[in-house]
Amino acid sequence: MAKVSNIFKGDRVIWAIFFFLCAISLVEVFSAASTLTYKSGSFWMPMFKQALFLGLGTAIVIAFQMIQPRFFQVIPVIGLPITLILLIFSFFLGASTNDAQRWVDVGFIQFQPSELAKCVMVLTTALILSRLQRDDGADPKAIKYILLLTGFIELFIFTENLSTAALLFAVIFLMMYIGRVPFRQLGSLLGVFAIIIALILLVVALSPSSTSPDDSGVLHRFSTWKARITKHFGDDKQLAPEDFDIDKDAQVAHANIAIASSNVVGKLPGNSIQRDFLSQAYSDFIYAIIIEELGIWGGAIVVILYIWLLFRAGRIASRCRDMQRTPTHSRYFYALTVMGAALMLVLQALFNMLVAVGIAPVTGQPLPLISRGGTSTLINCFYIGIILSISRLVVRRTKVKTATERAADPKDATTNEKEAIVADEEVQIATEN
């Protein structure tokens, strides 16, 4: 037992949520990957690959929760140049999948630089905000530095992956709000963002409904955006069942059928019918399969797990201020990093679930730690590792504070000397780490 506790450190609730999500992933990917099973000719291969990625992800979580959080401040320095190079490469020479040129192919694996960019920008934003904190809030220069870097990163993301660009902006905006950026600046930013969105929608509306296979550059994705927006918002007229053409929007239609046919209690794992009709049942629309097989209650449990993750991260962040003998800027960095990582996971999950239930247009965002995928799974595990690493440090530093206070309590004179020794030892350990 002691050996296990030495491996799995940090917040136990976060660990429990992580393993629950991984378990759901294995079960539902195995069930939803019927199309991959047919293509590969192997019944077990899709689940084996997902189990492999989750195993590697768990190793990443264990490794990073052992790292002292102060070293995360180095990642933006190293990660930003690498991320920019990869984004530029994928923009011009990237591999194309599902009509989107967002992948870097290194032979044995494909990965999305945008996933790496999200992680690096979370840490970069936390670093800038923590270093530019004043008594009355963040320095007004902080938002300028953040927007400069974010804007440059977004240029290479939004043309191929608009939903990822929107997700990144939402997380960065919330981090700036938590980081005490002046409301006046945040309000101005929202106004500018609204204008940019309006211009993008105007260009999309005026773009052709279809593009030729030879089209390249920014415009080749506009037709896809236009089709998705038009299908979702374009026509509110209620159609009779016999007039509905399921072939025009098969993904959304079959997702709706999966949810409607769940009968609240679900069909149990392995009994999904719509998985055979959803080409992305194991990824973008896996939440619909979860509801079909596990019922409304199963879908609600998944939602609760993500909400619980966010609230637990918020608790860890709030306890950062109680860390003894920790510089103020480091406390802010740890708190903002935890919240940024949690917000990235939870908001992405929200994007995915809104699409699956038909509330939002198709975005292509996977369900974190549940959907099948290599790059996204490993990066999401990195977020969990960061949260656990900081939670581990928070527990250690707050123990130092408690031990110090108890050692100084005159009511417990018999153990004062012993407590003082323990406190001194823990302070020394905390300071060194």
Tell me the two tokens of residue 231.
């299908």
Q: How many helices (H) and strands (E) does the chain have?
A: 15, 5
Q: What is the per-residue pLDDT across 287-300, written as a single tens digit (0 to 9) for each?
A: 989 999 999 999 99
Conformation bin of residue 267: beta by default, left when phi > 0, alpha when psi is -120 to 50: alpha
Q: Give the number of other Cβ atoms within 10 Å of residue 317's Cβ.
A: 24
- pLDDT tens digits for the chain (433 residues)? 446 666 788 899 999 999 999 999 998 888 887 666 666 666 677 778 889 999 999 999 999 999 999 999 999 999 999 999 988 888 777 665 555 556 676 665 677 888 899 999 999 999 999 999 988 889 999 999 999 999 999 888 887 778 888 899 999 999 999 999 999 999 999 999 889 888 877 776 666 665 554 454 455 555 555 655 655 555 555 555 544 555 556 677 778 888 888 877 888 887 888 877 777 777 888 998 999 999 999 999 999 999 999 999 999 999 987 777 778 889 999 999 999 999 999 999 999 999 888 887 777 789 999 998 878 899 999 999 999 999 998 887 666 555 555 555 555 544 444 444 444 444 444 444 4
What element of type H or E holds 12?
helix 12-32
Q: What is the per-residue pLDDT across 106-156, written as a single tens digit (0 to 9) for each?
A: 665 677 888 899 999 999 999 999 999 988 889 999 999 999 999 999 888
Q: Using CB atoms within 10 A of its CB, is residue 198 exposed (0-12), middle (13-18) or buried (19+)?
A: exposed
Contact 334, 302 (CB under 8 A): no
Predicted TM-score (pTM) above 0.85: no
Tell me the two tokens of residue 353.
């679930």
Domain boundaries, the chain: 1-66+249-382, 72-233
